[in-house]
Amino acid sequence: EVQLQASGGGLVQSGGSLRLSCAASGWIFDDYAIGWFRQAPGKEREAVSCILSSDGSTYYGDFVKGRFTISLDNAKNTVYLQLNSLKPEDTAVYYCAASERPMSQVGLRHATLYDYWGKGTQVTVSS
């Protein structure tokens, strides 16, 4: 059974940083997509950043604007998201998601293509 365990969320002041981690267990796929989505109260879920294990292609939401960096440790089946220059509008529950479906970089942003989801970790940015 594939499980995704996200951690690293917390409360931080505006301008601060956090590092999210997502460890995949029960994983048997060589090529996969993995990344982060977020959902704020009253808002739709949106893709934050995702990455392809095969070639390292990435996707970042337009709102990221160079503030976040995704990285993947294939040996550990762990994806990281470094969040810098955080803003109050970044407050949300951040979910880790993964997919073994064949996917191009264009598809990374589409949540419907991801079959496995973690429970989420809360990120709260105070002003």
The Cα 12–Cα 6 span in angstroms is 18
pLDDT tens digit sequence for 96-120:
999 999 888 989 999 999 999 999 9
Answer whether 6's CB lies under 8 Å from 118's CB: yes
pLDDT tens digit sequence for 66-91:
999 999 998 898 999 999 999 999 99
Query: Looking at residue 41, what is its pLDDT?
Result: 92
pLDDT tens digit sequence for 17-68:
999 999 999 877 889 999 999 999 999 999 999 999 999 999 999 999 999 9
Residues 6+ apart with CB under 8 A from 88: 14, 125, 126, 127
Query: Looking at residue 83, what is its pLDDT?
Result: 98
What sign has the CA pseudo-torsion 112, 48, 108, 3? negative
What is the chain's length? 127
Query: Looking at residue 30, what is its pLDDT?
Result: 83
Instruction: Write out the two tokens for 16.
Output: 């601060």
